[in-house]
Amino acid sequence: MGKSLGIYVISDKNWGHLLGIVKAAVAKGKEVILFFSYSGVLLTKHPDFAELAEAVNGHGKMALCLHSWNQNNLGEDHECVPGIDKSDFATQVRHSEMLEEMDRYLVL
């Protein structure tokens, strides 16, 4: 079984599933790699997003599509997202690079 799980988050409709999958994967010792795009970037404003960031911390990484962030008018403060550094506000190129690191891949 693969040691890493990539999750491409393109919808803001699956918060409960996303958090549950990440927690389960981390509990099984998997590395979790998340990339938020399209309306999935809206989840960064979820009141419990810090809980997701905490679950991923030390067990993977997160990044998001800067274009999607801007398209959804989420503001200029790129340091306000727990678990996502300013340098992780990226392009789809980052997403494609992350794909090469993943053993398993989900789209939510």
**Tens digit of pLDDT at every position of the chain (108 positions):** 469 999 999 999 999 999 999 999 999 999 999 999 999 999 999 999 999 999 999 999 999 999 999 999 998 876 679 999 989 999 888 888 888 888 999 999
Q: For residues 90 and 84, what is the distance between their CA atoms, to the nearest angstrom?
A: 10
What are all long-range contacts of 85-90, with beta carbons under 8 Å and residues at least 24 apart?
Answer: 88/61, 88/62, 88/63, 88/64, 89/63, 89/64, 90/63, 90/64, 90/65, 90/66
| pLDDT score of 9 | 97
For residue 70, what pLDDT is reported?
Answer: 93
pLDDT given for residue 2 in this prediction: 65
Delineate the domains of the chain, giving CATH numbers in brackets: 4-107 (3.40.1260.10)
pTM: 0.93
